[in-house]
Amino acid sequence: MASPSIGIIGAGGTISSLASDPRDYLDYPETGRKLSVEEVLERLPELDAFADLVPIGFRSVGSSAIGPSDWLRLHQAITTAVRHNPAIAGFVILHGTATLEETAYFLSLTLPATLPVVVVGAQRPLNTVSSDAAANAINAVRVAADPASYGRGVMVVMNDEIHAARDATKGSTYRLHAFHSAANGPIGFADPDRVVFRFPAHPPTSEEPAFDVDGMTELPRVDIAYSYAGCDGAAVEAFRAAGAAGIVSAAFAPGIPAPLEREALCEAARAGTVIVQSSRVGQGRVARRGWLDAQGWVAAGDLSPVKARILLSLALRQTTDIGRIQDFFDRY
């Protein structure tokens, strides 16, 4: 049987990094070099065993430099590649781990769920002792090429685990097991014998993505206000002054900002800024309690602040109606 054709996109990150010393797990962001996707493929010929790989250059940067305009261009790179080469069965994106979960969630909202896209990173540069780059890249290609991935949309593969884009989060600075999906757990595993999913894919009901971003070059500004004991409204006021169309409050669990911060958020809401209430703790839902409804704030459910910011930004391209925005949060 012919190998499936998989597009492999180079966005940089540790997985595409060469350290200047095989023991350098620390200083390589500043002292090392980022490889192009072609250079990564030259160093990892093992990947060819699992798919017919189509390299697609994007950016060779640390992912702290990736932002919304990159997401829109990445989306465009994927849709253009599919249009030009309809045989491509899925994609792997080599990406830094810092913003990996944000890129993955954005793509999950803007690409059809029928298309398997695996976003993969590494914790140790490609040429260091015991690097996880090769193993993670191999697993990513295996998952993207596996027929059971059809209909699962965007996934994150790290350390033999497969995570849903919506749930995946980086939870450790240096451990190889850096990503987790909190209480939801991984959706599957790249085991040595085969790729295993814990449950069947829901058959995609539509080829249409949740949000159509075709032709968009920018997203509305949305900022995140992080609560800490005693914080005031200075950050919220600065975000408003910078032109934020929305603010996500990453508040004390179960979703209550500090008093002065809350006042500033109420003021912002009255002036037309859309406020989404999330929590800073990483687990559990922010429920739609009466106070939020009365203020006209949106409840983020269990979406993390960084992902709530992405969903709000996409929602604001369509509407400023709080009821409709809350529907998006209840659905995605």
Q: Annotated active-site positions, please? A: 14
Q: Are 77 and 56 in contact (CB under 8 A)?
A: yes
Q: Which residues bind ligand GLU (CB under 6 A)?
A: 13-14, 17, 29, 62-64, 96-98
The tokens for 316 are 């604001």
Smallest separation (angstroms) from ligand GLU to the CB of 175 = 13
d(CA 300, CA 64): 24
Q: Which helix (H) or strand (E) holds 90?
A: strand 88-94
What is the rounded CA–CA span in Å between residue 79 and residue 105?
16
Of 38, 46, 45, residue with least CA distance to 16: 38
Name the residue nearer to ligand GLU (CB basis): 69 or 172: 172
User: What residue has token string 């060469």?
Assistant: 18
| φ, ψ (nearest 5 deg) of residue 155 | -130, 160
10 vs 96, beta carbon nearer ligand GLU: 96
Q: How far apart are CA 36 and CA 39, in angstroms?
A: 5
Of residues 155, 163, 161, 165, the one with CA closest to residue 189: 161
Least distance to ligand GLU from the beta carbon of 128, Å? 12
State the nearest-atom distance from the C-beta of 12 to ligand GLU, in Å.
Answer: 6
d(CA 271, CA 268) in angstroms, rounded, equals 5
Q: Find tokens 């180079």 and name the residue.
A: 10
Closer CB to ligand GLU, 168 or 275, in the complex: 168
In terms of CB distance, is 133 or 292 closer to ligand GLU?
Answer: 133
Residue 259 CB partners (closer than 8 Å, separation 6+): none
Q: How far apart are CA 159 and CA 19, in angstroms?
A: 20
Q: Report, in Å, the least distance between residue 176 CB and ligand GLU.
A: 12
Rounded to a whole number of angstroms, the minimum distance from the CB of residue 94 to ligand GLU is 10
Residues 276 and 306: beta-carbon distance below 8 Å: no
Minimum distance, C-beta of residue 207 to ligand GLU, in the bound complex (Å): 32
Nearer to ligand GLU, 97 or 159 (CB): 97
C-alpha closest to that of 104 among 93, 115, 112, 89: 93
Between 96 and 246, whose beta carbon lies closer to ligand GLU?
96
